[in-house]
């Protein structure tokens, strides 16, 4: 064996070793990075792990998925902008944040829109959602992979008991910054205080804010029972989220990988959502054990207080379409 062939062999071995050290992503033709604010203990994150495993198996390693919990790639809004620029990044995101690009998406985050996962799933697997997704693709260069990632109903976490909207007067409450969220919190009687989820615990601890509204798995995962005393079950938002990536990156995938990614995203969304349903009672029991008071209340006053949000934001007709879908 000559000198050159030995050198070539050594180089090849070195590359193979480096590849094995870096893992399967280096061998894949395509890699998708998925960012989420949630922790690894969240039931929805288990759905992302399911997606990762199934896509890599079904694509025979051609498409790899890397997961970044705890917003490791940045805030949702920043990751969406990276995706719009063509990066192979995806984010688990609510309709309120997508309304910046396509206003119709905001209706999905509206107050008391649907009941539980089965209710909202009808909406997000309908032709109405397909129309929204096409507008997002063509107008904002963002691709919806599936929109059936349910994180539970959102409730109030406060340091004083809440029974009616008047009890929220003067309370600074963290909520995401999109108009549908801030207008709803305002209509409920609180002062909206948008901030990144990662900042909520310390903001409550230092009394920069007085309260937060959140779904049970996220509240438990971030240990908010340590810095709030009451969880009031208003269920004002039915938090449905979607897996959204770059349209340019997605369009450049071979057609078979596009199909695999969309089909597996829908299946794993169901896995994540049913996992959330199954976990909620246990999560609430654990928060109660940790000293939190959990109050079931009559939500009628909150429904009445927030009913005008759809009209305020220009969603009256769209809300009628959604109601018609849910009535079928």
pLDDT in tens, 172-188: 999 998 899 999 999 99
How far, in Å, are 57, 74, 204, 267, 296 from residue 54 at the CA level? 5, 26, 39, 10, 39
22 within some domain: no
Decide which of 251 and 28 is more confident.
Answer: 251
CA 280 to chain centre: 17
72 within some domain: yes
pLDDT of 315 higher than 70: yes
Domain of residue 304 covers 27-327
- Give the model confidence (pLDDT) of 74-123 as tens digits: 988 899 999 999 999 999 999 989 999 999 999 999 999 998 899 999 99
Return all residues near 60 (Cβ < 8 A) that are at least 6 apart: none
Provide the CATH number for the domain around residue 76: 3.40.190.170
3 within some domain: no
- How far is residue 57's CA from residue 28's CA, in Å, rounded to a whole number? 12
Return all residues near 40 (Cβ < 8 A) that are at least 6 apart: 69
- How far is residue 271's CA from residue 48's CA, in Å, rounded to a whole number? 9
> What are the structure tokens assigned to 182, written together?
């801030």
> What are the structure tokens assigned to 10, written together?
């050594």
Reported confidence tier of residue 253, pLDDT bands at 50, 70, 90: very high
Return all residues near 141 (Cβ < 8 A) that are at least 6 apart: 83, 84, 86, 246, 247, 248
How far, in Å, are 187, 212, 308 from residue 304 at the CA level? 9, 21, 8
pTM value? 0.84
13-33 mean pLDDT = 56
9 within some domain: no
189 within some domain: yes
Return all residues near 92 (Cβ < 8 A) that are at least 6 apart: 34, 35, 36, 37, 38, 44, 48, 76, 149, 241, 242, 243
Number of domains the chain contains: 1
Reported confidence tier of residue 27, pLDDT bands at 50, 70, 90: low
11 within some domain: no
Strand 89-94 to 30-35 pairing:
parallel
pLDDT of residue 115: 87
pLDDT of residue 328: 87
């Amino acid at each position: 064996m000559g000198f050159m062939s030995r050198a070539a062999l050594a180089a090849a071995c070195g590359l193979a070793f480096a590849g094995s050290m870096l893992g399967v992503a280096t061998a894949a033709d395509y890699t998708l990075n998925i960012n989420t604010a949630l922790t690894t203990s969240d039931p929805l994150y288990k759905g992302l792990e399911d997606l990762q495993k199934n896509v890599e198996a079904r694509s025979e390693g051609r498409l790899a998925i890397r997961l970044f919990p705890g917003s490791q790639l940045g805030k949702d809004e920043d990751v969406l902008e990276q995706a719009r620029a063509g990066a192979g990044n995806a984010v688990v995101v609510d309709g309120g944040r997508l309304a910046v690009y396509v206003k119709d998406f905001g209706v999905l985050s509206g107050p008391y829109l649907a009941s539980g996962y089965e209710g909202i799933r009808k909406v997000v697997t309908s032709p109405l959602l397909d129309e929204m997704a096409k507008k997002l693709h063509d107008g904002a260069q963002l691709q919806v992979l599936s929109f059936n990632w349910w994180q539970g109903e959102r409730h109030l976490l406060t340091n004083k008991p809440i029974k009616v909207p008047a009890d929220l007067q003067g309370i600074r409450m963290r909520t995401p910054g999109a108009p549908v969220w801030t207008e709803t919190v305002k209509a409920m009687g609180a002062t909206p205080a948008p901030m990144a989820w990662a900042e909520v615990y310390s903001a409550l601890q230092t009394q920069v804010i007085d309260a937060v509204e959140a779904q049970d798995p996220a509240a438990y995962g971030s240990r908010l029972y340590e810095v709030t005393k009451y969880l009031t079950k208003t269920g004002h938002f039915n938090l449905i989220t979607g897996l959204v990536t770059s349209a340019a990156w997605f369009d450049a995938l071979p057609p078979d990988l596009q199909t695999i990614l969309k089909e597996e995203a829908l299946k794993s969304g169901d896995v994540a959502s049913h996992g959330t349903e199954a976990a909620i009672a246990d999560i609430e029991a654990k928060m109660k054990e940790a000293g939190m008071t959990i109050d079931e209340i009559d939500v009628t006053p909150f429904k009445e207080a927030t009913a005008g949000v759809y009209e305020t934001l220009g969603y009256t007709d769209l809300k009628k379409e959604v109601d018609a879908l849910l009535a079928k």
